[in-house]
Amino acid sequence: MTIWSGADLICMKRRPALVLENVQVPRGRRADIAILDGRVVHTGAGAAADRVIDCTGFFVLPAAVDVHVHMRGGSQSAKEDWKTGSMSALAGGVTVVVDQPNTVPPITTPEAFLARIRDAQAHSYCSFAVNSSVTPDIPFEAMWTAGAMAFGETFFAPSTYGETLAAQELSRALGRIHALGGLATIHAEGVTPGEDTDLVAHDALRSPEREREAVTAVHACNPGGCRIHFCHMSTAKAIDVAKGTVEVTPHHLFLSREKTWAGDPRFKVNPPIRSEKERKALWTRWDRIDMIASDHAPHTIAEKALPFSNAPSGVPGVETMVPLLMAEVLDRRITLTDLIRKTVTAPAALLGIPPAGFAPGDRADFALYPQSTVTVEPELLHSRCGWTPFEGSRAIFPETVILGGAVVLREGEFSRRNALWYAGKGYVPKTQGQNTA
C-alpha cells in the first residue's frame, strides 16, 4: 500500500478522504488529522477533505486491538458469529480481533483454518487474525504457512472447549513453534479434582497457587526459548513468575466473587473470578501488565442458567473492554497513555501489525469517545449472547469508529468496510488477493 506524506499530498493535490478536526492528541497539541488510503497522512493544520468530522468534546483514541476473542460461529452460532461478534467489537472501539481456534470443531488443519478465514472475510465488520489450535498432532508448518497469526491459546489446563496438553506435549509443541519463529499463547492453569459447585469452589479448584505453578511449569517446558504470551493472567503472583508477555482481562480487573452470589454460573470463567483481595493485588501489577484483552467468550443465557457444575465457563467482553477502562481514565485512576499502550500499541507490536496512531504512516483506525459515562445495560450491546457480567458498571462507549479511514460506526449505524485479514508472518499466499474481506 502506498503511504502518502503531507508533502506528497500538496504536490499531487490528492484530497484526504477524511479529516478529523480538533483532535486533542494525548500528551500533545490540538491537531487536525488527515487520512488517505487507510493511513494518517498529515497531523497538523487542517486540509480540505471529502469528509470532515469535528472532534471537539471527544476523546479521540487510536482504535484497540483485542488479541483474545472467541467469535464462535458454525454449530455455536447461537452464542455468537463473525457478524455479531465483530459488530460488538466495533461498538467497543476495537477494530482488530484475534480469534481463538477452540471452535467446534477446532482449527487443527489448514482446510479448517482457511474456512474460518473465508467465513470472517464474508461476514466480519472488523479486521481480524486467526490463531492455530495446538494439539500434539497439528501440522505446525502447514498451519503457519496457511497464515495462522500465533499458536494458541494452548490449553495447559482443561477449559470449556479445547484440548489440554500434558507437559511433555507442550514441550514438543513449543520446540516446533520456536523452530518456525512463531508465538505461543498459553492458557496456564492448574486444576485440583473436586466438586465444582459454586464460585468459591471454582476459585479453590483452579487456585491462584496452581496458576502460579502452571506458569513456572510452562517455563520449564521451554528450554529452547520459544516466544511466549500468557493469556488472561488472574493473579499478581502468577504475573510475578511470568517471563513472556502478560495479558489481563477486564473481568479479572473489575469483578470479584464478592460482587455476586456464590452460586451465580454467569460469573463462572477460567481462570476464575477471584476474591476482592486478589483483584486488588492484581491492580498493583498494573505496570507489568503488557496488555488488556477481553477473552470474549460468549455463552447463551440459557447455558449460563444451567446448574453451576454444568454451566460453561466464559464471559462476553469485547464491547465493554475499552469503555470500562475509559471510565477509569475519566476518573483519573489510569492514564490515557497507559490505556493506549495496553490496548493499542503493545498488542499491535505483539502481532507485528501496523500500529494505529496519530503520526503520518499510522493505520487510520480511531474511536471517538464522549466525555461522560453511561451505565452498562445488556440492551446497549451487540453480542448475540445478550448478556454482560458488567451490567450496572459505568462505561464510555464510542460514538464514532473509523476503520482504515472509513466511518464504520456512527451514532449506532454500522457500515461494513475495510475489514482486513492480518495473516501471521509465516503466511505463504496461494493465490493473489486473499487479503481483503
So which residues are the catalytic ones? 295
Binding partner at 197 among Zn ion, ligand DOR, none, C-beta below 5 to 8 Å by kind: none
102 binds ligand DOR (CB under 6 A): yes
Nearest to 145 by CA among 432, 434, 437, 423: 423
Q: Least CB distance from residue 187 to Zn ion, whole Å?
A: 4
| Interface region with Zn ion, contact rule CB under 5 A, candidates 26-34, 185-193, 258-266, 422-430 | 185-193
Nearest partner of 222 among 268, 269, 282, 154, judged by Cα: 154
Q: Which three cell numbers stand for residue 422?
A: 492480518
Only segment of 11-19, 307-315, 387-395, 400-408 that touches ligand DOR (CB under 6 A): 307-315
* Residue 86 or 313 having the CB closest to ligand DOR: 313
Compute φ and ψ for 265, nearest 5 degrees.
-70, -15
Residues 130-159 that bind Zn ion (CB under 5 A): 153
The answer to whether residue 229 forms part of the interface with Zn ion (CB under 5 A) is no
Closest CA to 121 of 426, 416, 431, 429: 416
Residue with cell 503488557: 290
417: CB partners within 8 A, 6+ apart: 403, 404, 406, 408
Binding mask 262-281 for ligand DOR (x = CB under 6 A): -------xx-----------
> Residue 383: which of 84, 126, 99 has the closest Cα?
84
Residues 276-305, interacting with ligand DOR (CB under 6 A): 297
Say how many residues touch ligand DOR, by CB under 6 A: 12
Report, in Å, the least distance between residue 29 CB and Zn ion. Answer: 41
- What residues from 141 to 170 belong to the interface with ligand DOR (CB under 6 A)? 159-161
Task: Print the binding letters for residues 179-218 with ligand DOR: x by CB under 6 A, - otherwise.
Answer: --------x-------------------------------
By CB under 6 A, residue 257 contacts ligand DOR: no
Coil vs helix vs strand at 164: strand
Cis preceding-peptide flag for 153 (omega within 30 of 0): yes
Sheet strands side by side (includes 227-230): 151-156, 183-188, 227-230, 245-248, 291-292
Which residues from 65-94 bind ligand DOR, rule CB under 6 A? 70
Amino acid at residue number 341: R
Among ligand DOR, Zn ion, none, partner that 297 touches (CB below 5 to 8 angstroms by kind): ligand DOR
Q: For residue 218, give the 3-state DSSP assignment.
A: helix
Of 116, 178, 187, 384, the one binding Zn ion (CB under 5 A) is: 187
Near Zn ion by CB under 5 A, which window of 17-25, 187-195, 241-249, 252-260? 187-195
- Closer to Zn ion by CB, 184 or 231: give it: 231
Q: What does 314 bind: Zn ion, ligand DOR, none (CB cut-off 5 to 8 Å by kind)? A: ligand DOR
Site string for Zn ion, 365-384 (x = CB under 5 A): --------------------
Q: Report the nearest approach of ligand DOR to the CB of residue 7 (Å).
A: 49
Please calculate the CA angle 80-177-313 and round it to the nearest 5 degrees: 30
CA distance 166 to 232: 20
Cβ 315 to ligand DOR, closest distance in Å? 7
Whole-number minimum distance, CB 81 to Zn ion, in Å? Answer: 20
Report the C-alpha gap between 147 and 418 in whole angstroms: 19
Cα–Cα separations (whole angstroms), residue 11 to 5, 15, 181, 251: 10, 11, 42, 50
Task: Count CB neighbours of 305 within 10 A.
Answer: 10
Cβ-in-10-Å burial (0-12, 13-18, 19+) of 302 comes to exposed
Residue whose C-alpha cell reads 487510536 in the numeric block: 62
Please report, as ranges, the residues that interact with ligand DOR according to CB under 6 A. Answer: 70, 102, 159-161, 187, 269-270, 297, 312-314
Please report, as ranges, the residues that interact with Zn ion according to CB under 5 A. Answer: 153, 187, 231
